[in-house]
Amino acid sequence: KQASYAALRGVEPFSRDGERIFVMMNAGLRDDIPMLNLSGADGIGLFRTEFQFLVSAALPQRERQTRLYREVLDAAGDKPVVFRTLDIGGDKSLPYLRKDGDSADENPAMGWRALRLALSREGLMKAQARSLLEATAGRTLNVMFPMVSEPWEFDAARNVFEQQLAMMKQRRRPLPECIRYGAMLEVPALAEMLDVLAPRLSFLSIGTNDLTQFLFAADRSNPRLAERYDWLSPAILRFVRRVIGSLAGHRIDLTVCGEMGGRRLEALALIGLGVRRLSITPAAVGPLKELVRKIDTREIAAAMERWLSEPVSDLRTQMIRWAEERDI
């Protein structure tokens, strides 16, 4: 098996009916970078910048942030890298960030985290924006914001970058060649506002880890709830289908970047709904590339259409059978 995945490293994954599926990987630390070439991923679809902060004893200074981003880009070469701005706070809290008077979150996942924290700690966000802009001088910066709940939050975050960019211009500093701004869709409310937000986006990335916990009101880190919902539940799949429908007519790259996309049947279901870009854990890249080459996306799309119009109680069992019959 490992050998067959290795043989696929340099191969671009196309389905039997000629659809290119982009299989990217998630990363967050310097040590993850070699996996880009080892796994044969098409790029880094989610670089979790908070990891550097989580492993540091003190707030990483701008120079250290810039250095890490540059190293990632140098290692990635021609492959794209999507940097996600800090998703700290809540359960990923940093002792050196808390200031007197902050109260602890009772529901950390829904608390003062990610973009909410970054927008209220502007110094933090400015420093990160500056680091990302400097690290991508002469290249493309793909940056996305986590936990966007309303369009204005996206605008506010983009403004922080634009202000830093203006300052760099004034000082005649080298600038990125191109900046692409994206949002993560992990708070269900944002799905209702995509018609408003879409024209301002270059890309959207569905974070299925947080999205499912919010959709089902089920804590993603509580093992007692792990059996409570299934990623193959019609509610999640219909939700993704609706998001794809809302983006029709807009030129926006859509990626799914949660753990869901790294699982066989879940990836099949997403491809059946029209998803063409997945960003997954590096170990799942080889198996997914192999899977893509065995499928006909039209066939799986037709099956999904059937399954979601009259949902069966156990789609997983149905899909297992479907895949076995086709030797997938």
Closest to ligand PEP by CB, 145 or 161: 145
Residue 270 CB, nearest approach to Mg ion (Å): 17
157 binding ligand PEP? (CB under 6 A): no
The reply to whether 50 sits near Mg ion by the rule CB under 5 A is no
| 107-125: b (≥16 Cβ within 10 Å) or e | ebbbbbbbbbbbbebeebb
Between 164 and 208, name the residue whose CB sits nearer to ligand PEP.
208
Pairwise CA distance, residues 89 & 120, whole Å: 12
CB of 46 or CB of 291, closer to ligand PEP = 46
The whole-angstrom separation of Cα 66 and Cα 270 is 35
25 SS3 class: strand
* CA gap 79, 164 in Å, rounded: 25
Q: How far is the CB of 4 from ligand PEP (least distance, A)?
A: 28
Number of residues that bind ligand PEP (CB under 6 A): 10
* Of 87, 134, 153, 253, the one binding ligand PEP by CB under 6 A: 87
State how far the Cα of 263 lies from the Cα of 197, in Å rounded to an integer.
Answer: 29
Q: How far apart are CA 236 and CA 238, in angstroms?
A: 6
Taking the complex as a whole, the smallest distance from the CB of residue 48 to ligand PEP amounts, in Å, to 5
* Beta partners for residue 84, in sequence order: 48, 144
x/- mask, ligand PEP, residues 40-69, rule CB under 6 A, reads ------x-x---------------------
* Tokens representing residue 256 in the block: 């799914």
CB of 208 to ligand PEP, least distance (A): 5
Tell whether residue 208 is a contact of ligand PEP (CB under 6 A). Answer: yes
Q: Which of 32, 42, 50, 210 binds Mg ion (CB under 5 A)?
A: 210
- Positions in 247-286 near ligand PEP (CB under 6 A): 257-258
Measured from the CB atom, is 8 or 190 closer to ligand PEP? 190
x/- site string to ligand PEP, residues 209 to 228, per CB under 6 A?
xx------------------
Of 207, 261, 262, 272, the one binding ligand PEP by CB under 6 A: 207
In degrees and rounded to multiples of 5, residue 26 shows phi and psi of: -90, 145
We find the least distance from the C-beta atom of residue 207 to ligand PEP, in angstroms, to be: 3
CA distances to 189, 206, 287 from 1, rounded to whole Å, are: 42, 30, 9
Shortest Å, Cβ 190 to ligand PEP: 13
Cβ nearer to ligand PEP, comparing 5 with 214: 214
Q: Name the residue type at position 22.
A: F
* Helices 297-309/315-325 angle, 10° precision: 150
Q: Which is nearer to ligand PEP, 43 or 258 (CB)?
A: 258
Q: Is the dihedral of CA 128, 83, 63, 163 positive or negative?
A: negative
Q: Which positions ≥6 away from 222 have C-beta within 8 Å?
A: none
Cβ nearer to ligand PEP, comparing 89 with 176: 89
Answer for the pair 80, 46: CB distance below 8 angstroms, yes or no. Answer: no
Which residues of this chain interact with ligand PEP, rule CB under 6 A?
A: 46, 48, 87, 186, 207-210, 257-258
